[in-house]
Every structure is written in structure tokens, then in C-alpha cells.
Amino acid sequence: MEKIRIGTRGSKLALWQADHVAALLKQGGIESEIITIDTKGDKILDVSISKIGSKGVFTEEIEEQLQLGNIDIAVHSAKDMQSELPQGFELIAFTEREVVNDVLVGMDMCLSLDKEDIVVGTSSTRRVALLKHFYPHVKTVSVRGNLQTRIAKMKDGVCDALLLAYAGVHRMDYDDMIISKLPLDKFIPPVGQGSVAVECYTSLHEEKRQAIRKYVNHENTEKRLRCERGFLKTLQGGCSIPVFGLADLQEDTLTIKGGIVDLEGTKIIRKRIMGSAENAESIGRELAEEVLKAGGDKILEDIKEKLNQKQTHESK
């Protein structure tokens, strides 16, 4: 078989992920080559993602290369992938998920979210809203950029600590700076956190597709992620909406908990359901229906309105 050409963004985290997939293929005796692609999201660093519009800013150029056949697969953090991909694209493998929690990262190991005047850097609406809900005294500042940039900003004194995904912190070798792991009963992570997803276009050669499924895909992770992504699809939550969802798989039983919190952190809706792993996606969808019925529809509407207002206001 010919070499598998892996497309990826050029950030350190993205390259780690591409290397990881290449290593899994290598274990199966398959050669690959990594091709770096620049995206709009990499070029625009001074505007927050929720303002430039989240849809596909990190994926458009990569999908173009998939479609042109210049790369066979693209590798992404699973949680950064929209719930609905453009026509002809699909996710065909998910790497084994690691620790899913968010972590508090900083230089002072004694720091805690209970500290009165703590300032936490994050630009995720989910993290800001959950902090407002569970730790209303915590002040937040927006800190964007890749992990290295964010840590540099923290060291410059922009904030006392950062709230980040364990997965990224660990992959970038910053474990020494992890102060604490946030509990999953409060900080339910976003859909897909901790796994790397492989995307392809319909034209991918069948032999390559099978090899990728065989050596890169982790079945337990895949079921959990398909369930979570079903949830996200029904909620229509883009990455600027504070939606969270986490599925667990024991034997053949999937359990998914998830919900939504408003931007002020005043209203939070959380639900949990179980079902057979065979129906992964529909279980996720069912959970979303429950969340919507319990008032999630209203929260979602309000958030979309607010984000729209913010956008029109800022473009004037």
C-alpha cells in the first residue's frame, strides 16, 4: 500500500496528534507522511473565535486538501470537530481517549478555585459559564492562542491560572504545572475531549480506510464519541455554546450525561440517560431532546441571540 498522507494544522498540539496517528499506523506496519496546512484560525490570533464565527475556521483549508486528494486523512482534536461535517466528509477513527477532565494549570501549586481573588484565564464560554455557576467569586480573563502562548501570558501576569483540557496539557508536556483536576460532577467536559479524530473524504481508497480503522480506531472511545456527537448534533451547539456531554461505556451499556448552562452561569440543565451501545448516536440525540425539553431550548435561544447581538454590535 502507498504511504498514507496525513494533513494537519501546524501548531505543536496538532503536530503531536498527527505524530500520534502516524505512530499507530507504524505499529501496523504502515508508512505515512505528515503534511502541514495553514488555516484561517491559525492566522487570525487577535480576535476571539466566537467573533470570527466558529464554523470551520480551523478545518476549511484542510477539507479542501482532502477533497483535492492531496492528503488522505486529516487529524484533529475530536472536540474541535463540528457535529455536522460538510457533504462527503466523515470521521472514520477516534484514538483511545485519555483523561477527559479540565485541569487548573499554574505556577503556584497551592492555588485553588476556592481562593477569593483568583483570576483564571480561559476563552471558552463553557468554562466561563461553569465557573460563574460553581465558583461565582472567580474572575476570568480571556486568554487565546495555543497552549504555549497562553502559558506565556499567564507568566506575564495576565492571570493566576489557566483552565485547560488535561489532554492538551499532557500532550504538550506541562504535567508539572497541573495544580488540580476539576471534578467531573461539576465540570462535565465538552463533547469529544481527550480523543483525536481522523477525518476523510468519500474518495479515500478502501484499503487505506480499512487500515486506519484497524490501527487507529479505539472501539470503546468511538462508541462514546458517536454518542456524544449525536447529543451535540441535536443541540446544534457550535464551539461558542456552553454545552457539555460525556459518555461512558461499560460492557455494552452506554451512559451519557450532559447539558447546557447559560452564559451568566445562573441556569444549568443536566440530564443523564443509559442505553445499549448499539444505538450510540440515538442515545445521544435522546439526551439532547431531554435537555431541550427541560428548558435547554430557551437557554440555547437566549445564547444565540446574545452572541448575534455581540457580533452585529462589534462589526459596526
Ligand X SMILES: NCc1[nH]cc(CCC(=O)O)c1CC(=O)O
CA dist 231 and 40 (Å) reads 28
- Nearest to ligand X by Cβ — which residue? 168
Rounded to a whole number of angstroms, the minimum distance from the CB of residue 22 to ligand X is 17
Three-state secondary-structure class, residue 32: strand
Q: Which amino acid is at 23?
A: A
User: Contacting ligand X (CB under 6 A), which of 21, 164, 182, 303?
Assistant: 164
What strand order describes the sheet that includes 119-121? 139-141, 119-121, 161-165, 102-106, 178-181
H or E, element range at 50:
helix 49-52
CB-count exposure of residue 64 (10 Å: 0-12, 13-18, 19+): middle
**Residue 122 vs 234, nearer CB to ligand X:** 122
CA dist 193 and 259 (Å) reads 15
Q: Residue with C-alpha cell 503531536?
A: 16
Rounded to a whole number of angstroms, the minimum distance from the CB of residue 167 to ligand X is 4
Rounded to a whole number of angstroms, the minimum distance from the CB of residue 252 to ligand X is 26
The values of phi and psi at residue 155, to 5°, are: -65, -30
Pull the grid cell for residue 279. Answer: 444505538
**Residue 95 vs 234, nearer CB to ligand X:** 95
Draw the binding track, 80-99, toward ligand X (x: CB under 6 A; -: no contact): x-------------------
CA atoms within 13 A on the CB side of 31: 3
| 80 catalytic per annotation | yes
**Residue 79 vs 226, nearer CB to ligand X:** 79
Q: Which of residues 24-83 bind ligand X (CB under 6 A)?
A: 77, 79-80
User: Contacting ligand X (CB under 6 A), which of 54, 193, 221, 240?
Assistant: 193
Burial annotation 236-246 (CB, 10 A radius, 16+ → b, else e): ebbbbbbbbbb
Among residues 80, 102, 160, 262, which one is catalytic?
80
Report the candidate in 56, 57, 36 with the shortest Cα–Cα distance to residue 45.
57
Q: Is 106 within 8 Å of 161 (Cβ atoms)?
A: yes
Q: Is 194 in the site for ligand X (CB under 6 A)?
A: yes
Q: Is 103 within 8 Å of 167 (Cβ atoms)?
A: no
User: Contacting ligand X (CB under 6 A), which of 120, 128, 167, 197?
Assistant: 167
Span from 134-142, 159-167, 173-181, 274-282 in contact with ligand X (CB under 6 A): 159-167
Rounded to a whole number of angstroms, the minimum distance from the CB of residue 147 to ligand X is 6
Q: Which of residues 213-252 bind ligand X (CB under 6 A)?
A: none
**Residue 187 vs 201, nearer CB to ligand X:** 187
Rounded to a whole number of angstroms, the minimum distance from the CB of residue 180 to ligand X is 15
Report the candidate in 223, 118, 206 with the shortest Cα–Cα distance to residue 162.
118
Span from 133-141, 160-168, 224-232, 264-272 in contact with ligand X (CB under 6 A): 160-168
User: Contacting ligand X (CB under 6 A), which of 41, 121, 168, 242?
Assistant: 168
Residues binding ligand X (CB under 6 A): 77, 79-80, 164-165, 167-168, 193-194
Catalytic residues: 80
